Amino acid sequence: MKIRRKLPKPSTARPLYAVGYTFPAPPSEALQRRYDMEYGGPLRLTPESGRPQIDRAYETLVATHGPWRARISLALPDEDASQWSERLDWRHSHIGLLAATGVTPANAVDTILLAARLAREFTLLTDGTAYDVAAQAYLNPSDWKDLDLTSFHSADHVRVAQAEAERPGSDWFHTLGLSKFGLDEIEMFQPLGLPGTPVMELLRELADELIRRGRTPKVGDVIESPYLSRALHVVRHRTASPAGTLLILREVQPVP
C-alpha cells in the first residue's frame, strides 16, 4: 500500500496591512535600506520558501529583525490583487500584503510593531495607501508620518469606534485592532445623549491594559489596575458583523 504524504500547508498568517500603489514594485533592498535607516536594523528579507522563486515579482518574503518576524509580499498576483481592490474599492495598479508570524502573548507587542514599521516604510517608499485590516483604517503617507513608531504605543495599533447600537436608546463604543494581539475586542454601551469622550478614553486605557496582560478576560471577571480610571466588569461575550466584518467582543460595564 502506497503511503500518501501530507503536503506542507501554506502559511495562514492573518493579513495585517494591505498597501496599494501605482508604480512597479520596489526592490526589496530599497525597503530594507529605509527600515535600517529609520529603526537601526539590521532587517533581513529572505524568501519564505528558503530559495528564490522563478517569478520573483510575486515572491513572499520573511522579514526578520532580531527575534521578531513578519511576512511581506511586495506585489500580489493579479487575481489576489483584484479581490483586495474590490474589497477596498481601490484603483491602485499593485497591492502588497503584510502579516505577522508566530505571534504569542510574550512577543505580540514587538511583532506587531515590526509589521507596522514595515507597512509604514512600504507606504512611504511607494507613495501609496495602506489599509490596517484589524483597525479598519486607511493610512496615507501623511498619516504614517504623524505616528511615532520608534517605540510601541497601543493607540497606533488599536482605535476606538462609536457606532449605532442595536439596543434602542444606546450608543455603542468598541475597539478595533485588539485582534492583532490575539485578543477579543471590547465594547461598552451607554444611553444616548451622554458625552462619548470619557467612554472612548476608558476603552483606550483598557485596551492598553489588556495588551500589557496578554490575555482576554473571562465573563464575570472584574478588571482593576492603577492604569484604569475605574474598575470594569466583563458581562458578556458575543460576535457581531458590522459592515460585514466579524468581531469577537467582550462587553464591559463600570463597577458601581
* HEC secondary structure over the chain: CCCCCCCCCCCCCCEEEEEEECCCCCCHHHHHHHHHHHHCCCCEEEECCCCCCCCHHHCEEEEEECCEEEEEECCCCHHHHHHHHHHHCCCCCEEEEEEECCCCCCCHHHHHHHHHHHHHHHHHHHCCEEEECCCCEEECHHHHHCCCCCCCCHHHCCEEEEEECCCCCEEEEEEECHHHHCCCEEEEEEECCCCCHHHHHHHHHHHHHHHHHCCCCCCCCEECCCCCCCCEEEEEEEEECHHHCCEEEEEEEECC
> 518574503: which residue's cell?
61
pTM value? 0.91
| Res 58: pLDDT | 76
What's the grid cell of residue 16?
495585517
- Residue partners of 6: CB distance under 8 A and separation at least 6: none
| Ranges under pLDDT 70 in the chain | 1-13, 50-57
| Res 56: pLDDT | 59
| Res 2: pLDDT | 35
| Res 51: pLDDT | 57
| Res 107: pLDDT | 94
> 496615507: which residue's cell?
140
| Res 57: pLDDT | 65
What are residue 18's DSSP bridge partners?
Answer: 97, 131
Provide φ and ψ at 146, rounded to 5°.
Answer: -80, -10
Residue pLDDT, tens place only, 150-187: 999 999 999 999 988 888 899 999 999 999 999 999 99
**Kind of pairing between the strands at 247-254 and 185-191:** parallel
| Res 50: pLDDT | 64
CA distance linking residue 182 with residue 184, whole number of Å: 7
